[in-house]
Amino acid sequence: MSGKSRIPADAFYVDSTITISTKHHTRSLRLPLLIFLAIAGCLCTLEVCVSMVSPSFHGMPFWGISVLTIILVCILSILPKHLHLLGYLPLFAGIAAAFHSRELLVRGAKLFYNDYYSIAHHTETQFFEMPLYVDEQEAVTWLMCCCSVILCSIIARLLMRRPKFLFYFIMTFTPIEFGLYQGLAMNLPAILMVIVTWFGVLALQLAERRASQNNLRSVRYSASAGCGIAAIVLTGAAALAAVLIADRFQLTTSPEIQEKRQTLRHDIENMRWEDITGSLAELSIGLGIMEDPDVRELGEKSSLQYRNEDEVRLTFSELPDSGMYLKNYTGSVYEENALVILPEEILEDNENLLTLFDQFECMPQILPFMGSQSLYGKNSTATLEIEPLISTKLYLQPYASYNSKAIYLDDTGFVPVEADSYSFEFSKQQTYQSVFQTPLHEFYIPVSGFNLGDTVTADFFDRIDADTTQDMLCVTARQTPYIENPDFITQALQAVLAEHYVYRDFVYQTYTDVPESEALAEVYASLPDWLLQTAREGNDWATMQAVRQYLAEQSEYTLSPGKTPATRDFVNYFLLENHKGYCMHYATAGTVIARYLGIPARYCEGYVLSQDSMADGKENEDGFVIVDVPDSAGHAWCEIYLDGYGWVPFELTPGYYGEEMLSPGESSTTAATTTTAVPDVPAAESSTQTKTSVYTTAVTTDGNGNAAVLTATVSSIGSSSGQGGSLGSVLSGFLRILAILFLLILIAAMFVLLRRYRMNRRKRSFQNPDTIAAVLSLYRYLIRLLEVVSLSPGNQQLLEFAERAKQELNDAGYDGEGASHIIQLALAADMGEKAPTKEQLHEAVRYAERLALRIARNQKPAARFVMRYIHHLI
Amino acid sequence: MMRTIWMKIIYFILLLAAALFSVLYLEPFSILLLLILLLIPILMLLSNIYIRFHLRVSLQLTGSTYHRGTPQAVQLTIRNSGFLPVGRAVASINWISMMSDTKIPVSLTFPIPARNVTTVEFRISASHCGLTKMRMQWMQFTDYIHLFGWKMHVHPEAELLVLPGGKELDFPLSVPGSETDEESNIYSKLKPGDDPSEVYRIREYQPGDLQKRIHWKLSCRTDTVWVKEYSFPIQHRAAVVIDYSCGQTASAAAMDTALEAAFTLCAAFVRQEIPLMLYWLDAASGQLVWNELHTPSDLNDCFGTLLRQLPAKENTALLEQLSEQPALRSTNAIWYCTPCDVLSEMQKLSGIFKENRLHVLTARKADTEEKRPEHIYFIDEGSVEDTLRGIYCSGEVMS
């Protein structure tokens, strides 16, 4: 073995030949390692792909063909000379098979894409409409087999010939990256195994990198195989340690980490080169360096994906009578394709309003709660404890609720005293129909009831600018300001007065403001006459219904509407060109149009809970119902202002409303007569031709005839993400792999130990002091050896057989003399009791061993394996 | 080294990408990937530490002396007692020629299998005579993904004495004058003579032996008849003086040439059994040293002793001490080999060796137009053999 080295000039001349030798000759494990890498890499990559989409296919033929392909390619690739080129045969066979059955393949591809689409978009809708007669499993299986054969052929072939990390990485990482990008759940142990093989291939390649040392192949390969194995073991240990660390410190489930990840993710996703300063500022916000201005960028996401992970835990003392909205964010201003909260300066400009908020707690948020108490009585409330699971800054607020400990800073949200968990008293009546249908009444509040001499009271009336010289103060409201609950009497009166005299004007000034732009002017101009006519009639509810109808006619609900081009207005692009969107699109467009039509409206985000999902909650020992809210319950809706009552949600997104909608007053004509739930009808599809089935709606009514939204997430989506999603499954996967490896090692060890035992036993028999027994044993060994080269005594006389064996062995290039001699010795010992001498025996044994080695050398690897480990001849 | 830097950069980029993944993709895998990529360097570092404590390195030479120009095998032996192999190790070995004071690093790249002894053997030829030291500077190995290079500062050493190669002369060296001198008290170790003052050896009687040579006493005690052979007093007909008085000012090449000439002459004299004395000035004591050379091993030993002292500081005491050497005055032929410019010393040399046939071989490029003084010969690396042939063929030695 020789290699090159740097040769210095002048004082010394180093011979260019360097020899490297090792003391112990160790068999290189390179070939077994490459086979292992090929099998593990291919199978784990396939498993990752399969686990991503979970297609409906026949597993046995797929895995069988995959394994066979890998083994075949491995075997063909190690053939000598140019025969290794046969290793490309399975690849060509795969391509030919795919071409031959291309129609079936195309069908399979469409079906496969349908599976992918439903998983990626959490929908049961099929992207490609397939005829019913298509055998789905057969087509998908055929597609996957063809792909598997091609993929395995390429990976195994190139690994066996020359392991190249970059190529292997690209081939195996691509599906993983794709899955990650699409948010698909994957088999975690399989991915980790792929990572382990990456480092194995990398170590192997780096150890074999010195191409100039071709002749050092034996030592180099011995070391490189060792390096590959060591790298695999070390990376495997790292993977195991990573799983244990993540499990121990809950890195994948910790709410703080999740929150930070989500924040950073959002900021990174919103990075824009044209506004790099702003993007970096947002990133700084995510990193906690700057504060978040609470902006919602619109049209940045091409699609909406859910992980189906629980984000909030709700504990109800009693469940509401219908579905429920939990508001987290209120977008008050629409500008430059973004929604932002109400600017502080607007509130600051309304000093009286701010004082009413700060000092007199006349918050619009609590007005509906007071109203509900007035409408339904003080026993109509329940408590709700909210515990955010992923973010401690997730401040959720139900409608018609009140939290006495919370700080209400403005007319949108609140800040709880303890962010980890906070509770509300809320009205169990969350339907608002009766409220909406209740007309505004005039209520007269006697001024004498107030102590105007009190400076605080005087200040209050001063702030609301009420004429206290009159005996009565007239306010308009949906319900009486006098409520039964004595705790809230004063607060309710103050709130109603503040709403009537101050806040209502503020609402109409602020929340009917629409941005002026050419793009939006185009939108306004495109509004149909019937919609404008409805708006002119002055019935807000009818107007909003018309808006909803217009939006439904104008667009199609989809979770993958694509991004809004940077140069286009979000609403304009949605309504006039793309005609595709999800809740965010509908809520934003509805808000803008409602404001244009003179209805105070705001955009809201949060969660929407169906009555069914709440009914599925678990009851704890205190009788409270615990409901976990997944991310898929996230939603956006529009909020409109009801004079004399406050803000109420109005649903604009197809699929979330119908005849049975939660929205105020909508069920007035149908709900009272319906008593049983309608089977899951894809209302969105029937009414708007939408393709989603994430939410299905049905009608239920309570005893009062109030309708409620039933929203139910598709359970299969949740279960799909569970595959390999938790660390427990990772551990169990690892244990399974370890168990399989252990089993394989055990089987291999069994072969080795059995061979060693048989060899030792044979050696002892050859060294038997009774040389007759020893030579007979040797004879039996020789006969088994000769059977390998198809030489058997049969019925032939032994002397004749000895002669024939000698002749045939000589013809085959072996030394046949020794074999003949052994047969004769055995014959003499057996028949004539003539014991051979120890020297003769020793010589004969040495000959037999040499012959065995030479025969083995001339055998094919498989036959050699059989000789070594099955027949134990060498 | 460069490779580890690149791998570090690539790995750092990969780590950044994984960090980005862990933010962009909220699946557990992205966090695990980041963790794995953080843990792998730690494990690689630990593996390097493990390997470091299981490697033993040594340097060996197949012999302690060899001749200039002939390749000498050197073995770098690495014993890896651990179960982790090394895919790529680089050893840097410094070769230091004491004569030319040159230091040249040689780098070797090799793999180290686990639980084995790896021997890297290579051959080296030295251009200069004298003591040569080789010292391993460091051995660096990298982890399996070349993230960390671990430099082992182990310094096994080996010494090697490079003797002049010597030219085999294809003509006989004749020396004027008698071979023996009865008054000499130096006797030949190679052949018997007739000087009864010293017994050369005792051997069994052979027909034809003189009766008076029979060792009666010994023969009486044994059953065999023994005879005595007397010694052969030899005349030191030839002497070789090596003058390196110009010390380190002489170039290594000139020193090589002078030593090569001296070695060639000595080897030729020894081969022809011409009694020969080799003179030089001991660098440590400043005293003249002379050795009688009879066999090739004497020659190697003497040159070995001499070469270990080189390069020496300048010392001009050689001529003075040579003039006080009586044995030298009776030598028939003196070969004065030097790398120094002796033209200025010619008068002094002629004064000392006026009764002898002095031949000065000085390592210098002969200028064709330069007239050389009598008995002074300019030699260079390739002309030793030709110069000597010229001297002998012209009859200058015998004249």
The enclosing H or E element of B156 equals none
The verdict on residue B340 lying in a domain is: yes
Please indicate, yes or no, whether residues B212 and B269 belong to a single structural domain of this protein.
no
Q: Which positions in chain B touch A734 (Cβ < 8 Å)? A: none
In angstroms, rounded to a whole number, what is the distance separating the alpha carbons of residues A786 and A847?
Answer: 13
Q: Residue written as tokens 């002892």?
A: A764
Interacting residues of A103 by C-beta distance below 8 A, sequence separation 6+: none
Cβ A209–B88 below 8 Å, yes or no? Answer: yes
The verdict on residue B253 lying in a domain is: yes
The pair of structure tokens assigned to A390 is 């992923």
Chosen domain end from A598, A625, A658: A658
Cβ B146–A18 below 8 Å, yes or no? Answer: no
Cβ A234–B146 below 8 Å, yes or no? Answer: no
Averaged pLDDT for residues B131-147? 89
Please indicate, yes or no, whether residues B258 and B355 belong to a single structural domain of this protein.
yes
Q: Domain count of chain A?
A: 4
Measuring CA to CA, how many Å separate A621 from each of A385, A428, A713, B270? 16, 22, 27, 113
DSSP alpha helix (H) spans, A121-216: 136-161, 165-182, 188-207
In angstroms, rounded to a whole number, what is the distance separating the alpha carbons of residues A859 and B203?
Answer: 68
Q: Is the dihedral of CA A149, A154, A159, A165 positive or negative?
A: negative
Q: Is B219 helix (H, G, I), strand (E, B) or coil?
A: helix
Q: Which positions in chain B touch A231 (Cβ < 8 Å)? A: 144-145
Tell me how far apart the terminal alpha carbons of chain B are, to the nearest angstrom.
Answer: 67
Contact predicate A675/A653, CB 8 Å:
no
Cβ B125–A237 below 8 Å, yes or no? Answer: no
Please indicate, yes or no, whether residues A244 and A346 belong to a single structural domain of this protein.
no
Please indicate, yes or no, whether residues A101 and A128 belong to a single structural domain of this protein.
yes
The pair of structure tokens assigned to B66 is 């060899």
Q: Is the dihedral of CA B13, B14, B19, B23 positive or negative?
A: positive
Interacting residues of A728 by C-beta distance below 8 A, sequence separation 6+: A247
Q: Is the dihedral of CA B354, B359, B364, B367 positive or negative?
A: positive
In angstroms, rounded to a whole number, what is the distance separating the alpha carbons of residues A708 and B331?
Answer: 133
Cβ B35–A264 below 8 Å, yes or no? Answer: no
The Cα of A772 is separated from the nearest Cα of chain B by a number of Å equal to 42
Structure confidence at residue B57 as a pLDDT band (50, 70, 90)? very high
CA of residue A530 relative to chain centroid, distance: 45
Domain that holds residue A857: 752-870
From the list A210, A226, A246, the residue facing B114 with the nearest CB is A226
Interacting residues of A500 by C-beta distance below 8 A, sequence separation 6+: A475, A476, A477, A644
Please indicate, yes or no, whether residues A238 and A345 belong to a single structural domain of this protein.
no
Mutate to test the interface with B, among A6, A7, A20, A257 (most CBs of B within 10 A): A20
The Cα of A225 is separated from the nearest Cα of chain B by a number of Å equal to 9
From the list A10, A18, A199, the residue facing B122 with the nearest CB is A18
For A184, name the nearest residue in chain B, comparing CA atoms only: B27
- As a three-state string, the secondary structure of A80-94 is CHHHHHHHHHHHHHH
The verdict on residue B387 lying in a domain is: yes
Please state the length of chain B: 399
DSSP-derived pairing of the beta strands B72-80 and B55-61: antiparallel
Give the count of alpha carbons within 13 A of A863, CB side only: 13
Please indicate, yes or no, whether residues B217 and B249 belong to a single structural domain of this protein.
no
Q: In B277-313, which positions are buried (b, 16+ CB within 10 angstroms) versus exposed (e)?
A: bbbbbebeeeebbbbebbeeebbbebbeebbebbbbe
The Cα of B381 is separated from the nearest Cα of chain A by a number of Å equal to 15
Domain that holds residue B244: 238-393
Please indicate, yes or no, whether residues A100 and A84 belong to a single structural domain of this protein.
yes
CATH at B105: 2.60.40.10
Please indicate, yes or no, whether residues A463 and A594 belong to a single structural domain of this protein.
yes
**pLDDT value for A661:** 40
Chosen domain end from B143, B163, B183: B163
- Going by C-alpha positions, the residue among B106, B55, B118, B78 that lies closest to residue A1 is B118
Cβ A5–B23 below 8 Å, yes or no? Answer: no
From the list B84, B123, B145, the residue facing A206 with the nearest CB is B145
**pLDDT value for A149:** 92
Contact predicate B390/B360, CB 8 Å:
no
In angstroms, rounded to a whole number, what is the distance separating the alpha carbons of residues A101 and A98?
Answer: 5
Which residues of chain A are modeled with pLDDT < 70?
1-18, 26, 132-134, 210-218, 269-294, 378, 391-393, 419, 431-434, 483-486, 658-736, 795-796, 831-833
- Going by C-alpha positions, the residue among A639, A547, A555 that lies closest to residue A593 is A547
**pLDDT value for A658:** 56
Cβ A243–B102 below 8 Å, yes or no? Answer: no
CATH at B275: 3.40.50.410
Cβ A5–B126 below 8 Å, yes or no? Answer: no
Cβ B144–A227 below 8 Å, yes or no? Answer: yes
CA of residue A401 relative to chain centroid, distance: 35
In angstroms, rounded to a whole number, what is the distance separating the alpha carbons of residues A591 and A572?
Answer: 13
The pair of structure tokens assigned to B87 is 């895919």
Please indicate, yes or no, whether residues B254 and B385 belong to a single structural domain of this protein.
yes
Mutate to test the interface with A, among B3, B10, B13, B36 (most CBs of A within 10 A): B36
**pLDDT value for A703:** 35
CA dihedral B77, B64, B128, B287 (to 10 degrees): 140
**pLDDT value for A218:** 66
Q: Which positions in chain A touch B113 (Cβ < 8 Å)? A: 22, 26, 219, 222-223, 226
Cβ A11–B128 below 8 Å, yes or no? Answer: yes
Lowest mean pLDDT among A269-273, A388-392, B140-144, B157-161: A269-273
Q: Which positions in chain A touch B125 (Cβ < 8 Å)? A: 12-15
**What value does the mean pLDDT of chain B take?**
82
Please indicate, yes or no, whether residues B200 and B345 belong to a single structural domain of this protein.
no
The verdict on residue B20 lying in a domain is: no
Chosen domain end from A658, A692, A708: A658
Chosen domain end from B144, B163, B182: B163
Cβ A14–B118 below 8 Å, yes or no? Answer: no
Strand partners, A649: A639
The verdict on residue A374 lying in a domain is: yes
pLDDT at B394 over 90: no
Cβ B40–A234 below 8 Å, yes or no? Answer: yes
Please indicate, yes or no, whether residues A433 and A485 belong to a single structural domain of this protein.
yes
Cβ B71–A15 below 8 Å, yes or no? Answer: yes
Please indicate, yes or no, whether residues B123 and B207 belong to a single structural domain of this protein.
no
Cβ B118–A242 below 8 Å, yes or no? Answer: no
DSSP-derived pairing of the beta strands B130-142 and B116-126: unpaired
- Going by C-alpha positions, the residue among A409, A391, A476, A488 that lies closest to residue A440 is A476
For A203, name the nearest residue in chain B, comparing CA atoms only: B144
For A308, name the nearest residue in chain B, comparing CA atoms only: B27
Q: Which positions in chain A touch B124 (Cβ < 8 Å)? A: 12-15
DSSP assignment of A642-703? ETTTEEEEE--STTS-STT-SSTTGGGGTGGG--SPPP-B-HHHHHH-----SSBB--EE-T
Please indicate, yes or no, whether residues A287 and A310 belong to a single structural domain of this protein.
no
The verdict on residue B6 lying in a domain is: no
Longest CA span, chain A? 146
The verdict on residue B186 lying in a domain is: no
The verdict on residue A702 lying in a domain is: no
In angstroms, rounded to a whole number, what is the distance separating the alpha carbons of residues A82 and A442?
Answer: 99
Mutate to test the interface with B, among A2, A12, A16 (most CBs of B within 10 A): A12
pLDDT tens, position by position, A57-86: 888 889 999 999 999 999 888 888 788 888
Please indicate, yes or no, whether residues A471 and A592 belong to a single structural domain of this protein.
yes
Please indicate, yes or no, whether residues A414 and A540 belong to a single structural domain of this protein.
yes
**pLDDT value for A601:** 93
For B25, name the nearest residue in chain A, comparing CA atoms only: A180
Cβ A252–B28 below 8 Å, yes or no? Answer: yes
Q: In A751-764, which positions are buried (b, 16+ CB within 10 angstroms) versus exposed (e)?
A: eeeebeeeeeebee
In angstroms, rounded to a whole number, what is the distance separating the alpha carbons of residues A552 and A653?
Answer: 8
The Cα of B316 is separated from the nearest Cα of chain A by a number of Å equal to 28
Please indicate, yes or no, whether residues B284 and B384 belong to a single structural domain of this protein.
yes
In angstroms, rounded to a whole number, what is the distance separating the alpha carbons of residues B371 and B343?
Answer: 11
Please indicate, yes or no, whether residues B227 and B250 belong to a single structural domain of this protein.
no
When computed from its CA atoms, the radius of gyration of chain B, rounded to whole angstroms, is 32
Task: Say how many C-beta atoms besides its own lie within 10 A of residue A486's C-beta.
Answer: 8
In angstroms, rounded to a whole number, what is the distance separating the alpha carbons of residues A238 and A745?
Answer: 21
| Segment of A335-339, A351-355, B310-314, B371-375 carrying the highest mean pLDDT | A335-339
Please indicate, yes or no, whether residues B379 and B340 belong to a single structural domain of this protein.
yes
Lowest mean pLDDT among A85-99, A706-720, B49-63, B178-192: A706-720
Please indicate, yes or no, whether residues B227 and B246 belong to a single structural domain of this protein.
no
**pLDDT value for A718:** 32
Q: Domain count of chain B?
A: 3
Please indicate, yes or no, whether residues B227 and B242 belong to a single structural domain of this protein.
no
Interacting residues of A91 by C-beta distance below 8 A, sequence separation 6+: A73, A149, A150, A153, A154, A157
Please indicate, yes or no, whether residues A168 and A317 belong to a single structural domain of this protein.
no
**pLDDT value for A667:** 37
Longest CA span, chain B? 116
Cβ A12–B121 below 8 Å, yes or no? Answer: no
From the list B31, B97, B113, the residue facing A26 with the nearest CB is B113
**pLDDT value for A592:** 92
pLDDT tens, position by position, B215-230: 888 888 888 899 999 8
Give the DSSP letter of residue A604.
E
From the list B32, B109, B118, the residue facing A242 with the nearest CB is B32
Chosen domain end from A292, A320, A353: A292
The verdict on residue B324 lying in a domain is: yes
Please indicate, yes or no, whether residues A358 and A402 belong to a single structural domain of this protein.
yes
The Cα of A741 is separated from the nearest Cα of chain B by a number of Å equal to 20
Cβ A199–B145 below 8 Å, yes or no? Answer: yes
Cβ A22–B109 below 8 Å, yes or no? Answer: no
Q: Which positions in chain A touch B114 (Cβ < 8 Å)? A: 223, 226
Please indicate, yes or no, whether residues A235 and A276 belong to a single structural domain of this protein.
no
Please indicate, yes or no, whether residues B145 and B204 belong to a single structural domain of this protein.
no
